[in-house]
Amino acid sequence: MLLFGYHPDTNSWSEGLFFDSASVVDSEVSKFLLKEGVAQGTIDKIIQRGFEPPDTEVTPHLMKGLGDPHLVFRTLKQWGMKVAICTSDYRQTSQMTVGELELGDYMDCMICGDDPEALPKPEPHNVHQICKKTGVPESSTLLVGDGYRDIEMAKRAGVKTIVGVTSGVSTEEQLWKYGCHYVCDDTLGILDLLGTGRG
């Protein structure tokens, strides 16, 4: 289970394979199973069945926004800022989440792990593409992330400000170590950081 980031001895998670892009997960799981002696045909069936996007009719009720994403995104938009998502998740899953949480009106751009032009984190390519599409230079970009791959991607892309949030997979200590400029409990902290308040 360490391949996926699960530590059975402590019943905890860290950044393992499930925090990577869909294509990388498929590839690495295939390699692992092949090494374990599983036939390629069986592997293909496992990948097809086990790693396809979730059923959009079943999973929406399981989704919950952390902090107050409406307040955060609405405030950023009121300040004339562009809002984008760069995720390793499937596009279908990401669009379903954004739709279920009613955040679509705030989004200027979204790059997902299975998009043809996407590269796996921590490659900086996706950040450069978002900056190009939104017209915001990297030197004016604030990137929020919760794990090593996010923070490393931000550093490689040369963004101005890197904010880590502890509401994901990493601790405050880890986020500082990865190279964040600021660390918050969740995305609400961005408003305090930017001095916009919470009202």
pTM for the structure as a whole: 0.74
Distances in Å between the alpha carbon of 71 and those of 76, 105, 107?
8, 13, 14
Average pLDDT, integer, range 100-104: 91
Phi, psi (rounded to 5 degrees) for 45: -65, -40
Instruction: Kindly tell me if the per-residue pLDDT of 134 is higher than 80.
Output: yes
- Per residue in 15-49, pLDDT (tens digit) is 655 555 566 666 777 777 778 887 888 777 776 66
Token reading at 170: 């990493």
Handedness of CA 173, 175, 180, 185 (dihedral sign): negative
What is the chain's mean pLDDT, rounded? 82
Domains of the chain: residue spans and CATH? 2-50 (no CATH), 61-194 (3.40.50.1000)
- Per residue in 9-19, pLDDT (tens digit) is 766 656 655 55
